[in-house]
Amino acid sequence: MPIIRDTEIEQLLRDYAAPILRAAGLAKQNVRVVVLNDRAFNAFVMDGRHIFINAGALFDARTPNEIIGVFAHETGHLAGGHLQRLREQLATAQTASVVALLAGVGAMVAGARSGGSSGNVGAAAIMAPQSAIQRSLLAYVRTQEDQADHAGVKFLSATGQSAKGMLDLFKRLTDESLFNSRYIDPYLQSHPMPPERVAALEELAKASPYFDRKDPPELQLRHDMMRAKLSGFLDRPDTVFRRYPLSDHSLPARYARAISTYRHGGLRDALPQIDGLIQAEPNNPYFYELKGQALLEGGRPGDAIAPLRHAVTLAHGAPLIDIMLGQALIATDNKKNADEAVPLLRNALAREPEAPEAYAQLAMAYGRKGDLAQADLAAAQAAFNRGDLMTARQLASRAKTRLPVGSPAWVQADDIVSVKPSKANK
Ligand SMILES: [Zn+2]
């Protein structure tokens, strides 16, 4: 599944989720929100450590409170330990449906032998047990949904927030699915919303003293900026300019258009738009990040360095922006810049150890410095993170021949060489 990594969006979603996770007693579990590059509306939990949310859900949610409501509901699943039990249930259901299918095939064969309206008998035999399993599974899922709704509203109330967003969103999703039977959001498939459930949620939500509480305007603006950014990066230019027409002078509209212009138009048209954003908010790190990214991708790494430095300073510790600055420094083909890039990337990797791009950049930086042993080791780590174990081992073995035996780097290389394939396939 393609993941979207972006400091601005991740920071906002952390701010949405953190109070809810604390209220649920899950603050210490280090639950991370992961954004998936998928336009359909969906959010789910799988392993107790992550809340997955589609870019489509972020884009469709009109207020912060709607996404906070989704997080509250998903946190309800986490806190209720629903995942493991649902998985067990599904495993049994699958076994049972295989048995049912075999029984159905048996009936079909028997029907064909006896002649007559055989096919239908077989089909009915297949249908009956499976629909019975589906009914019991659905009942089970509905119980969990009701529990997650209850828990979600509790977490929202405990943090002084309204459940109105959750309610509005669920109502909208069910209404849309009525009109659009051709396409059903995956969220509705995993979160069935019969009218009783929505009615029960409405009653719960309205009982809260915080029902009418609105999101603070500055949070709403950050939310709108996130939606604008997602649209600018993911939508086609004509879609972006229809959603955010030139007549719209709001900051989110200008953000979406500037991003779309740099992605699809040209640097020359995009730069004045980005500079206009910087002028409007001179302390917004993400506008400098955007400028640096546009210049870097437009083939002007030397010019990208200053805005990226500014973004790094304003963002107060954002490893993804550090990595981009490192990339710009290395792309300038200057040994002094490569010297600066090495500690920058090392520091970023200490906080983002799974970023394969950062190891590849680090390998290049060491290459520029002429440190071939460290270049091989970093390239081995990049390959390892990509899951390319064979290349990782080859590079690590070569690094070992160039490193002092027993040094920390040699030990790291040795670790990669001696990894068992099963352990690497995570
Ligand atoms: Zn649910």
Q: How far is the CA of 54 from the centre of ligand 1 (A)?
A: 15
198 CA distance to ligand 1 middle (Å) = 12
- Which pLDDT tens digit goes with each residue over 264-321? 988 999 999 999 999 999 999 999 999 999 999 999 999 999 999 999 999 988 999 9
CA of 44 to the centre of ligand 1 (A): 7
Residue range 357-397, pLDDT digits in tens: 899 999 999 999 999 999 999 999 999 988 899 999 999 99
Mean pLDDT of all residues in 176-196: 70
Distance 157 CA to ligand 1 centre (A): 18
CA of residue 162 to ligand 1 center, whole Å: 18
Lowest model confidence (mean pLDDT) among 69-83, 265-279, 409-423? 409-423
259 Cα: distance to centroid of ligand 1 (angstroms)? 34
Rounded distance from Cα 78 to ligand 1 centre (Å): 10
* C-alpha of residue 225 to centroid of ligand 1, in Å: 27
Q: In the predicted model, what is the mean pLDDT of the chain? A: 87
| Gap from CA of 3 to ligand 1 centroid (Å) | 22
- For residue 119, the model assigns a pLDDT of 44
Q: How far is the CA of 9 from the centre of ligand 1 (A)?
A: 23
pLDDT band at 49 (very low <50, low <70, confident <90, very high): confident
Q: How far is the CA of 82 from the centre of ligand 1 (A)?
A: 9
How far away, in angstroms, is 356 Cα from ligand 1 center? 33
- CA of 217 from ligand 1 middle (Å) equals 28
- In this prediction, residue 45 carries a pLDDT of 86
Q: Mutual orientation of helices 82-114 and 64-79 as an angle, nearest 10°?
A: 80
Choice between 189 and 409, residue whose per-residue pLDDT is larger? 409
**Ligand 1 center from residue 418 Cα (angstroms):** 42
The backbone torsions φ and ψ at residue 161, rounded to the nearest 5 degrees and listed phi first, read -115, 155
* Residue 180 pLDDT greater than 70, yes or no: no
